[in-house]
Structure 1
Amino acid sequence: MTQVSKFLLSKDSEDKISNFLFETIANIKTKNDVSEFLKDFLSPTELVMLAKRLAIGVLVSSKKYEYKQISRILRVSTTTVGSVSGLYKSDGYYKKIVDRISANETSKKSLIQIAEIVASIADIGGAKASGYHELKKNLRKKRINNPF
């Protein structure tokens, strides 16, 4: 779980540093630069968490998968699927981005690779990850039946 310092900032300071972050990200021009920045800036766990939240939105938008299936595919709790699904259904900017990704076949194929990476990461996890060995095999064999 992400941790926040116990030393609180004023609302004004929080707004200023948030805006600075948004401007910084908005000024990054290439996909490679975004990738390098995020890999340096975020922990591996934070990066995977963000990728999973994006993938949850794509699966929810497809209307082909139940929460339990999405939970199993992406190795997240059904509570996480529910909260991200609520975000998607709230009609905000997250929904716009997810719908844009869902409409782009190249992006969908990229998310297949993300699912494979998530399955590979789970391989490291030991006994609890045993189901993901099977998921990884299925993703490689049956790209047509793939959720992305």
Structure 2
Amino acid sequence: MSQISRRQLNSRVQERIYEIFVDVVREANTSSEVHTLLEDFLTPTERVMLPKRLCIAYLLLKKYNQRAISSYLKVSFTTINRVSTALTTGGQGYTLMLTRLQKREKIDAILKQIEEGIVSTLASIGGPTHVWKGLQSIQRKKTYKEIKTF
């Protein structure tokens, strides 16, 4: 992520700048505008890491273990621990956004693909075919329960 200057900014000025930034992001009305804004604001590394953090939060909320998350998303345990800490010490932003996203079918389908990728990764690590089939069965039951709750 980006480096922060050692020179301290007045806290009131910093808060005001942040409020303006939030207002600018909120003003982006279309997906295209959001993409354009984020392309300008974020470095290529940030454009990769921020979505990964969102996926980490989703997978942690779904009770996936850190080793599986690390293997599938190619992230360090430190990154996973940071997101986990954010979730346990508040994490309201993550939880709010992920709850909203789950209600949208398009995003939910993408997140399900990520879950399926993790299941297949676990199966390839674990070995026998019956393990993979067992994981698939658990996933189907889990999906059925989630569908019933909506």
Output the TM-score relative to the length of structure 2. Answer: 0.68
Shift of 1:103: 4.0
Q: CA–CA distance in 2 between the matches of 1:82 and 1:24?
A: 30
Partner of 1:35: 35
Counterpart residue type for residue 76 of structure 1:
V
Identity of aligned residues (%): 33
1:57 Cα deviation from its structure 2 partner: 1.1
Residues 25 and 34 in structure 1, CA contact (< 8 A), matched pair in contact too: yes
Work out the CA distance in 2 between the residues paired with 1:99 and 1:15: 27
Report which stretch shifted further, 102-111 or 54-63.
102-111
**RMSD of Structure 2 on Structure 1 (CA):** 2.4
How has the CA–CA distance of structure 1 residues 60 and 22 changed in structure 2, closer, same or farther, with 3 Å as cutoff? same
Residues 109 and 58 (structure 1), Cα distance of their counterparts in 2 relative to 1, 3 Å cut: same
Unaligned runs of 5+ in 1: 116-133, 135-143
AA in 1 matched with 2:53: R
Determine helix, strand or coil for the equivalent of 2:5: coil
Instruction: Give 1:7 deviation, angstroms.
Output: 1.8
Amino acid in the other structure paired with 1:18: Y
Shift of the alpha carbon at 1:70?
0.5
In structure 2, the residue matched to 1:2 is: 2
Separation in structure 1 between the aligned mates of residue 21 and residue 73 of structure 2, nearest angstrom: 28
2:66 aligned with 1:67, yes or no? yes
Cα deviation, 1:10-68, whole Å, max 9, x if unaligned, reads 001101110110000011101111011101211110111111111111111222x2101
Gaps of 5+ in 2: 115-123, 125-135, 140-150
Asked if the contact 1:61–1:99 (Cα under 8 Å) also holds between the matched residues in 2, the reply is no
CA distance in 1, matches of 2:44, 2:112: 19
Contact 1:58 1:101 in 2 (8 A): no
| Count of matched residue pairs | 117
Q: TM-score, normalised by structure 1?
A: 0.69
Alpha carbons 1:56, 1:81 under 8 Å: kept? yes
- The structure where helix makes up a greater share of residues is 2
How far is the alpha carbon of 1:88 from its aligned partner?
2.3
Q: Are residues 50 and 94 of structure 1, via their aligned partners in 2, closer, same or farther at CA, if it must alter by over 3 Å?
A: same
Partner of 2:109: 109
Matches within 5 A, 1:77-92: 77-89=76-88, 90-92=90-92
**Quick check: 11-20 or 89-98, which moved more?**
89-98
1:98 is matched with which residue? 98
Which protein is bigger by CA-based radius of gyration? 2
CA separation of 1:41 and 1:112: change in aligned 2, threshold 3 A: farther
